[in-house]
C-alpha cells in the first residue's frame, strides 16, 4: 500500500477543520441530534420506557462497537452534548444511533410519522424486498421475535443505507472475492492520532470517557487510543474502487466510506436533509483521524443525491468550492 505522507495528512486535517468550524455545518448536525432525541423521547413514551434510559441505549457509547471510541462521552452527558457539545461529539451520537436504531426506525414507520414521506416510501419498499411482508405492523412483530433470538437485521439494511453499489462493496467489490480492505497485520504507529491534531479540541466529556472507559489518562502523552481507519485498514490495490481512485489521482485512505453511507441514511430520514451539509459533517469527523479521504466520502454520497461531482473532479477543490457557498472562506 502507498502510505500517506505528512503533507497529505495535513491536507486532510485542514479540510476537516474547515468543515468542523463552519457554523452552518455545526447547526445542521445539532438540529439532526435534536430530531433524533425528540424521536427517542416519543418512542420512550409510546413504549412506556424511561426516556433517559432510552437515550442512553440508542445514543450512548455502548450502542457502538468498543473500538469506536472517537468522540464518545459518558452516557450521562448525552443531553448536554446535544445542547452544547462539539461537532465531533454530536456526530458520534448520530453514529451510535446508526448502529442501534433499527427498532426505533421500525416503530416510527408503523406510526407513519417523524420521517419524510419520501423516506417512508423507500423504507417500505426495502422492507418488503427484505421480508416479503407489506404490513409494517407485521414486520415489526417479526423483527421483535428475531431480536429476542439475537438475529435482528443490521440497522444499515433496515434504514436507508445500502442504496447503491458503493455500500454493497464496502468490504468487497466486483469481482466479489476482491476485498476492498483488510485489517493490517501490524498497526502503523505513526498513524495514531496525536492530541495536537484533534480538532475541535477534546472536551471535558471526551477526556472523562477516555480516562474512565479507555483507562487512559492524557497528561504529557501526545497520542490517543483512537484507532484511525488509516492505521487499522490496508486497502487492496487490485480492488476496482482503489484502481479507479488511483487512476484519477484521488487520495486513497481506506476506500469508499461505509460510515458515510450509515450517516447519510439517518440524515436523509428528516425533512431538513441537505446533501452538502451532510457531506461536510462526514468530512469533519472522518478526515481528522483520518478514517477516509473526501473522495471516499463523496463516492458514498452518490446514491443520496450528490449529482454535481464525478470522480474525475479533484475532491478537495470541489469541497472547498462548496464550502464557500456556506460561508467558509
Q: Where exactly are the structural domains of the chain?
A: 6-22+163-325, 31-158
Residue with cell 467489490: 173
This prediction has a pTM of: 0.91
Q: How far apart are CA 142 and CA 73, in angstroms?
A: 33
Measure the CA–CA gap between 85 and 201, rounded to whole angstroms. Answer: 11
Q: Tell me how crowded residue 154 is: count the other CB atoms within 10 A of its CB.
A: 12
Cα–Cα nearest to 180, from 171, 188, 168: 171
Q: Given this model, what pLDDT does residue 149 score?
A: 54
Whether the Cβ atoms of residue 226 and residue 69 lie closer than 8 Å to each other: yes
pLDDT in tens, the chain (329 residues): 567 899 999 999 999 999 999 999 999 999 999 999 999 999 999 999 999 999 999 999 999 888 888 999 999 999 999 999 999 999 999 999 988 888 898 899 889 999 999 988 888 887 777 778 888 888 777 766 665 554 444 444 444 344 443 443 444 444 545 678 888 888 888 888 999 999 999 999 999 999 888 877 777 668 898 889 999 999 999 888 999 999 999 999 999 998 898 899 899 999 999 999 999 999 999 999 999 999 999 999 998 999 999 999 999 999 999 999 998 76
Q: Are 164 and 302 in contact (CB under 8 A)?
A: yes
Q: Which of 182, 167, 180, 289 is nearest to 230 (CA)?
A: 289
Q: How many angstroms separate the CA atoms of 157 and 170, rounded?
A: 13
C-alpha cell recorded at residue 250: 484521488
Strand partners, 178: 173
Contacts of 253 (CB under 8 A, 6+ apart): 4, 12, 229, 230, 290, 291, 292, 293, 296
**How many Å apart are CA 106 and CA 109, to the nearest integer?**
5
CA dist 124 → 3, 101, 153, 157, 172 (Å):
43, 16, 15, 12, 27
Amino acid at each position: 500500500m502507498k502510505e500517506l505522507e505528512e503533507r497529505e495528512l495535513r491536507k486532510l486535517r485542514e479540510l476537516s477543520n474547515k468543515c468542523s468550524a463552519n457554523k452552518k455545518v455545526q447547526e445542521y448536525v445539532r438540529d439532526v441530534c435534536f430530531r433524533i432525541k425528540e424521536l427517542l423521547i416519543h418512542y420512550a413514551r409510546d413504549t412506556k420506557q424511561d426516556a433517559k434510559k432510552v437515550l442512553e441505549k440508542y445514543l450512548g457509547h455502548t450502542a457502538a462497537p468498543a473500538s469506536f471510541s472517537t468522540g464518545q462521552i459518558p452516557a450521562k452527558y448525552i443531553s448536554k452534548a446535544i445542547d452544547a457539545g462539539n461537532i465531533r461529539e454530536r456526530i458520534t451520537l448520530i453514529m451510535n444511533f446508526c448502529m442501534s436504531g433499527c427498532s426505533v426506525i421500525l416503530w416510527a414507520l408503523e406510526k407513519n410519522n417523524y420521517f419524510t414521506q419520501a423516506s417512508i416510501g423507500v423504507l417500505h419498499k426495502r422492507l418488503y424486498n427484505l421480508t416479503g411482508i407489506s404490513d409494517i405492523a407485521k414486520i415489526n412483530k417479526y423483527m421483535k421475535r428475531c431480536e429476542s433470538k439475537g438475529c435482528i437485521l443490521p440497522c444499515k439494511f433496515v434504514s436507508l443505507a445500502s442504496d447503491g453499489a458503493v455500500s454493497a462493496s464496502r468490504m468487497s467489490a466486483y469481482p466479489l472475492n476482491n476485498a476492498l480492505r483488510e485489517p493490517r497485520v501490524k498497526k502503523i504507529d505513526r498513524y495514531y492520532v496525536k492530541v495536537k491534531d484533534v480538532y475541535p479540541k477534546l472536551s471535558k466529556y471526551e477526556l472523562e470517557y477516555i480516562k474512565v472507559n479507555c483507562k487512559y489518562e492524557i497528561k504529557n502523552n501526545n497520542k490517543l487510543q483512537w484507532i484511525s481507519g488509516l492505521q487499522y485498514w490496508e486497502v487492496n490495490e487490485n480492488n476496482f474502487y482503489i484502481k479507479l481512485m488511483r487512476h484519477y489521482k484521488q487520495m486513497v485512505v481506506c476506500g469508499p466510506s461505509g460510515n458515510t453511507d450509515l450517516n447519510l441514511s439517518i440524515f436523509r430520514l428528516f425533512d431538513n436533509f441537505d446533501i452538502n451539509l451532510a457531506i461536510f459533517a462526514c468530512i469533519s469527523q472522518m478526515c481528522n483521524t483520518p478514517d477516509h479521504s473526501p473522495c471516499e466520502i463523496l463516492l458514498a454520497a452518490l446514491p443520496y443525491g450528490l449529482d454535481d461531482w464525478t470522480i474525475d473532479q479533484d475532491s478537495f477543490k470541489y469541497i472547498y468550492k462548496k464550502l464557500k457557498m456556506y460561508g467558509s472562506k
